[in-house]
Structure 1
Amino acid sequence: MKDLLKQLLNYFLIGVLALIPIVITLQIMIFVKDRVSDLIGTVYAVADNYLYTIMVFGVSIALLVWIGHKIVKDGRYWVIATIDNIIERIPVLNTIYRVIKKLINMFSGHDKAIAKEVVYVEYPKEGVWMAAYVTNRFDDKYVLFIPTSPNPTSGFTAIVDKSKVIKSAMNIEEASSLIISVGVDFNKVSEIGSLPKV
């Protein structure tokens, strides 16, 4: 009887773990759907007309596509540059805006100078290796963002000497996947052998 209960509990846990990714994905989809529904409801409440609501969203999507095209083509769009200049003059808000913008550029890959490289660094102690994003360089010093699992947007910032890091063949997406999956999705297993032993 005890073995049967143990086996049933084991099957139950395996079932729960198998469903967690599906549930989380569905929760994200429901969250996005709710936000879009709220937005549509707000626009419709003001207009009280389906045609007007469809027109507002059609124009909004076209405007965002056009702004994206101008940014890709010209490197910077004057409307965004004007908003940047206004926000840069507001204390505290300018710091928050600048940091958020750099983080988005880092994870989206639009900023060629930021986080195009993933390295391994010994952290929090010698012999423990972590994947880190290189966010900046000054001579022989690397500024690293060392993310924590399973949320790659939280972590630590460290300044280390170039000699203390080992370059990785992972790109940002692969490193983020490694961190989110807490090591389950790691396709650079061959790199583990190149890490020095204590």
Structure 2
Amino acid sequence: MPVIERARIGAALRRWLLSGLLVLVPLIVTLWVLEWVISTLDQTLNILPEAWQPERWLGVRVPGMGVLLALAIVLGIGALASNYVGNQLVAWWHALLQRIPVVRSIYSGVKQVSDTLLSEKGNAFRQALLVQWPREGLWTIAFLTGAPGGDVARHLPPQDYLSVYVPTTPNPTGGYFVIVHRRDVIPLAMSVDEALTYVISMGVIVPGARRGGAVASASIPGAA
């Protein structure tokens, strides 16, 4: 077989291999995550008495039954907490945990974060920004979270500084809280979801690439 023909076949095989990986890898990772979530939530069934186990009265194990039970529990607690009596019970439980020294600090911190992220009125990430991090000359994506408050505001005027969150990649749940001057950030004309996708993909998926054209300039809320 001529050398040119072998090179052509080798190039075709490499192209097919990469094309197959591009199709299969996202699918496999997605299925793996779903399987992990379902198997984890299925552990919720362990709180039921043995006589009530679905496997006992169905005669076969059905994956996902724990997901339905967990969803029912969350909905039930949400419905209970939405009325007056449930509200009082939640307030009593919250006050009780606030009196336990070690638990108090952990619970309060987690509750404040969850209230910000999960509340219907919450607005944890307000805008995508471009900041120099971890040193001048290097740029990365950050998210506006607010303005300095408390005693920090006494030393750093809120009108001049911004509180931002710099996520890590590919896992944006870890990152750094940084207070920066307004003049040192560049607002981005992309949504928070687009910016998160950009971070998670390590810059591979570029927001706005499909739309093309120039994007409108953005502005920081509250900026002069």
Q: TM-score, normalised by structure 2?
A: 0.65
1:158 aligned partner: 178
**128, 133, 136: which one aligns with 1:126:** 136
The 1:193/1:113 distance shift into structure 2, 3 A limit, reads: closer
1:31 aligned partner: 36
Distance 1:170 1:109 in 2: 23
> Unaligned stretches of 5+ in structure 2?
1-5, 59-64, 149-157, 219-224
Distance 1:129 1:45 in 2: 56
Aligned-residue RMSD, C-alpha: 3.7
Query: How far did residue 10 of structure 1 move?
Result: 3.7
Query: How far did residue 26 of structure 1 move?
Result: 0.7
Q: How does 1:41-120 map to 2 (within 5 A)?
A: 41-45=46-50, 47=52, 50=57, 57=69, 60=73, 62-67=75-80, 70=82, 77-108=87-118, 110-112=120-122, 114-120=124-130
**Pairing 1:177–2:197 present:** yes
| Equivalent pair of 1:116/1:172 in contact (CA under 8 Å) | yes
1:187 aligned partner: 208
Identical aligned pairs, as a percentage? 23
**CA distances 1:33-78 after superposition (whole Å, capped 9, x unpaired):** 2123322254152645759x99x9496355134147x28xx9x933
Q: Secondary structure at the match of 1:158?
A: strand
| Equivalent pair of 1:136/1:144 in contact (CA under 8 Å) | yes
Distance 2:119 2:215 in 1: 23
Higher helix share: 1
| Equivalent pair of 1:151/1:180 in contact (CA under 8 Å) | yes
Q: Secondary structure at the match of 2:89?
A: helix
**Pairing 1:5–2:14 present:** no
1:144 aligned partner: 164
**1:14 alignment partner AA:** S
> Unaligned stretches of 5+ in structure 1?
none
Query: How far did residue 21 of structure 1 move?
Result: 1.5
Which structure has the bigger radius of gyration? Answer: 2
1:15 aligned partner: 20
Query: How far did residue 113 of structure 1 move?
Result: 5.7
Query: How far did residue 146 of structure 1 move?
Result: 0.3
**1:39 alignment partner AA:** T
The 1:33/1:114 distance shift into structure 2, 3 A limit, reads: closer
The 1:106/1:168 distance shift into structure 2, 3 A limit, reads: farther
- The count of aligned residue pairs is 188
Distance 1:103 1:92 in 2: 18
